[in-house]
Structure 1
Amino acid sequence: MANDTLAGVFAPVLTPFDKTLKVDAPLFVKYCSWILSQGSGLAMFGTNSEANSLTVDEKLELLGLAVENELPVDRMMPGTGACALPDAVTLCQAAAKAKTAATLMLPPFYYKAVSDDGLFAFYAETIERVGDANLKICLYHIPQVSGVAISLPLIERLIKQYPDTVVGIKDSGGDFANTKAMLDAFPEFRVFCGSERFLLETMKHNGAGCISAMANVHPGAIVNLYETRANDGAQTKQDALNATRAAYDGIPMIAALKRTVAEYGKAPGFKTMRPPLVDFSDEGWEALKTKLGALSLKTPNLDKALS
C-alpha cells in the first residue's frame, strides 16, 4: 500500500462563515480539532466544505492555519481539484509542501464530455508541474455533481504512469457496483467509498475506508464501525449509521449538516451558507431535530470544543 496513514474515516470538513460571509478561520481550526479527537481524518475543501465557493487563497490560508496549529498532516486530505490548471498546481504544491497524507482531487469540472485523454493530460500536467515526491493524489469520482466521470481505464493509465503519486480514489457515485469494480481491478489502490452506507461492504472487499459527509456530525460512530468491522454486531452498527444518514435524505445536505453542528455545538456561525447556497430553514431544522432526537445522535464534547 502507498501510505499506511491513508486509510480509515475522513470528514469533508464543513466551513464556517461569519455574518459578512468571511471564513471564520479560528472556528474552523477548533472544529477540525474536534473531528480529529473523534478519530476521523480531515478531507477539508471537499464537496461538503463548500470548496467551490472558496478561493484558492482562502484554502491556502486554512491549510496553513491547520499546519501552524500542529494538526496532524498525516490525517489531512485537502481538496485540490480546480477547473484551472494553475489553481490545481498551486493547491497541490501547498499540500505536498505540508506533506499531507494525500490530496482529494476533482477532475476539471466545467467542461463536460471531456475525453479520458484530456483528463489524463490535466492530472499529468499537474503532477509534472508540482514535481514533488510528497504529492499523493486521491482521485475524486462524483459525476452526479461534477458531470465528469473518472473511468477505470483512466485510473489504470494514471496508476501505470504515476504509481507513487496517484494512490487512491473516493467513489461518491452512489453505485457500489462501480466501487467494487475499482476494488477488484486495482487491489493495491486505496479505494474509499463516499458514504458510510457502503462502509462495511467496502471493507469486506479490502477497501481503504470512507470519506463521508456524516463524519461531520457523528464521526466517532463511523470510526467505531471501521475499527470493529470484523466483530459481531458490525451489521447492527451499519444499520444504525444508515438510519442517521436517512434523516438527511431529501433535504439540502450541506446546509442541514451545518445547522446540526451549529445547534449541537452551540456555534451559530455554522448556520451561514455562502451564496448561491442558502441557510437551512427553521422549519426544516425543527423536523430534522425531531428525527435526530429519536435517533439519539451523539456529538461528544462538540459544544466545548467550539466554545
Structure 2
Amino acid sequence: MVTPFRGNLDVDTEAFIAHCRWLVNSGAGLAIFGTNSEANSLSIGERIELTDALIGAGVPASSMMPGTGTSSIPDTVQLTRHAVDAGAAGILMLPPFFYKNLSEDGLFAYYSEVIERVGDSRLSLYLYHIPALSGVPITLGLIERLLKRYPDTLAGVKDSSGNWSNTKAMIDQFAAQGVDIFPASEAFLSAALPIGAAGCISATANVNPACIAQLCARWNDADGAALQEEATTVRKIFQALPMIAAMKYTLAHWHNDADWCTVRPPLTALDEATGHKLIDDLKAIGFDMPGVRAKENA
C-alpha cells in the first residue's frame, strides 16, 4: 500500500486513511508498510502512529498485514508486537537486508529470535522474499526449517522474485502444509490459484483493486480469462515505469491532488511528460478508479 506524503514530506494521515478505506471497499486487504509504502523511508514511530490512526478511524485490523521487518531485531520486535497487539491479521517481515551473502543459519537465527522475543501465539508471520531489493533471499530450506520449528506461527510467504518457477516451487512444497503463498503480481494469478496460491500481494492493487479482487474470486468462471487479460494489461503499463512514482502520479490524477505525486527522497517523482503519457495509456484501455473522490479546489 502506497503512503501519501504532503509537499513537505510529512505523512498525510487523512489521505492514508481514505486510501485504505477505498481499498477495503474495493475488495482488497492492506499490506501497509511494504516496499511500495516506502516503508524503509518511514520511522518506527510513523509506522506505529499510522497503524493506530487507521484503527482509530474504524479500519478493521483484521484487514491489515503490516510490514515489520528491519535490519534491527529490537526495532522488528517493537513493530511486530505493536501490530499483533493491534489485532493485525498477519505480519509481513523482510529479512535483515543490510548484510549480504548471509547463511541460512544466520537468517533462521534472526527470525527465531524475533519470534521468541515477541512470544505471542497470535503472531501470524509471513516471510517477504524480494531478493532484487533486499539482496537476501528466502530459500525453500529456510521456510522448511521455520515451519518445522514454528508450525503455528509461520503462516505464509510473499514471493516478489518475479520468477514463476520459484513461486510454483513454494506452492508445490508448502501450500498443502497450510502455508499461504502469495505471488507479488496479479499476472501470475491464473497459473497460481489453480495449484493452491492464496491470492496475491500486488503493488498495482493500489490502483486496480476491484479488477484484481474479481480475478481472485472468478478466475475459474467464464470471464476469468478476460479478467486476467485486463489485470495483466494494467500491470504491464505500470511495471514499465518506476512503479511507486507511477502509482502515485495516477492517484494524484484521479484525486486531483498534486501532493499524491510526492515521494520521499531518495526516490523521485515522475516528470510531467512521462506522467501525461501514463494517464493517456491508461485511458486508452478504458482504465478507471471507481469510488475515488477528487479533491475540490486542488
Q: Following TM superposition, by how much is the alpha carbon of 1:233 offset from its aligned partner in structure 2, in angstroms?
A: 2.1
1:270 and 2:266 are equivalent in the alignment:
no
Distance in 2 between residues matched to 1:19 and 1:249, nearest whole Å: 25
Distance in 2 between residues matched to 1:151 and 1:73, nearest whole Å: 30
Partner of residue 285 from structure 1, selected from 263, 267, 275: 275
Distance in 1 between residues matched to 2:255 and 2:291, nearest whole Å: 8
Deviations along 1:42-66, whole A, 9 cap, x unmatched?
A: 0000100101110111000001111
- Equivalent residue for 2:38? 50
Distance in 1 between residues matched to 2:254 and 2:182, nearest whole Å: 28
Distance in 2 between residues matched to 1:184 and 1:251, nearest whole Å: 32
Q: Following TM superposition, by how much is the alpha carbon of 1:73 offset from its aligned partner in structure 2, in angstroms?
A: 1.2
Q: 1:120 to 1:60 in 2, by over 3 A?
A: same
Partner of residue 77 from structure 1, selected from 41, 65, 82: 65
- Equivalent residue for 2:84? 96
Q: Following TM superposition, by how much is the alpha carbon of 1:98 offset from its aligned partner in structure 2, in angstroms?
A: 1.0
Q: Which amino acid aligns with 2:95?
A: P
Q: Which amino acid aligns with 1:254?
A: I
Distance in 2 between residues matched to 1:47 and 1:249, nearest whole Å: 14
Deviations along 1:59-104, whole A, 9 cap, x unmatched?
A: 0000111111121111100000101111100110011101211011
Q: Which amino acid aligns with 2:211?
A: A
- Equivalent residue for 2:7? 19
Distance in 2 between residues matched to 1:259 and 1:57, nearest whole Å: 27
| Count of residue correspondences | 295
The 5 Å alignment of 1:213-232 reads 213-232=203-222
Q: 1:99 to 1:190 in 2, by over 3 A?
A: same
Cα RMSD after superposing both structures: 1.3
Distance in 1 between residues matched to 2:107 and 2:97, nearest whole Å: 10
1:131 and 2:119 are equivalent in the alignment:
yes
Distance in 2 between residues matched to 1:249 and 1:91, nearest whole Å: 30
Partner of residue 243 from structure 2, selected from 246, 253, 273: 253
1:170 and 2:122 are equivalent in the alignment:
no
- Equivalent residue for 2:51? 63
Q: Following TM superposition, by how much is the alpha carbon of 1:267 offset from its aligned partner in structure 2, in angstroms?
A: 2.5
Q: Following TM superposition, by how much is the alpha carbon of 1:304 offset from its aligned partner in structure 2, in angstroms?
A: 5.3
Q: Following TM superposition, by how much is the alpha carbon of 1:160 offset from its aligned partner in structure 2, in angstroms?
A: 0.7
Partner of residue 203 from structure 1, selected from 193, 196, 201: 193
Give the number of the structure with larger relative contact order, counting CA–CA contacts within 8 Å between residues 6 or more apart: 1
TM, length-normalised to structure 2:
0.96
Distance in 2 between residues matched to 1:161 and 1:41, nearest whole Å: 28
Deviations along 1:167-203, whole A, 9 cap, x unmatched?
A: 1000010011111111111122100010001112110
> Alignment partner of 1:303: what SS?
coil
Unaligned residue ranges in structure 2 (runs of 5+): none
Q: Which amino acid aligns with 1:110?
A: F
The runs of at least 4 aligned residues of structure 1 exceeding 6 Å deviation read none
TM, length-normalised to structure 1:
0.94
Contact 1:34–1:305, Cα closer than 8 Å, also in 2: no
Unaligned residue ranges in structure 1 (runs of 5+): 1-12
